[in-house]
Amino acid sequence: MANGVSEMRDNDNRAALSRARGLGSARTGVHAWRWQRVTAAILVPLVIWSLASLIAVVGGGRETVVGWLARPGVAIPTILLLIALFWHMALGLTVVAEDYLHHNGVKIATVAVIQFGCLALGVAGVMAVALAIIAG
| Residue ranges of domains in the chain | 29-135
pLDDT band at 130 (very low <50, low <70, confident <90, very high): very high
Residue-wise pLDDT tens digits, 27-44: 567 888 999 999 999 999
Q: How confident is the model at residue 80 (pLDDT cuts 50, 70, 90)?
A: very high
The fraction of the chain above a pLDDT of 90, given in percent, is: 65
- Quote the CA–CA distance of 122 and 5 in Å, as a whole number: 58
Mention the CATH class of domain 29-135.
mainly alpha
Write the Ramachandran bin of 133: left for phi over 0, alpha for psi from -120 to 50, otherwise beta.
alpha
Checking if the pLDDT of 23 tops 70, the result is no
Rg of the chain over Cα atoms, rounded to whole angstroms, equals 24
Ranges of H-type helices in 1-136: 2-20, 28-56, 62-70, 72-100, 104-135
Q: Per the confidence metrics, is the pTM higher than 0.85?
A: no
CB 91 within 8 Å of CB 39: yes
**Contact criterion met (CB below 8 Å) for 134 and 75:** no
- d(C-alpha 28, C-alpha 41), whole Å: 21
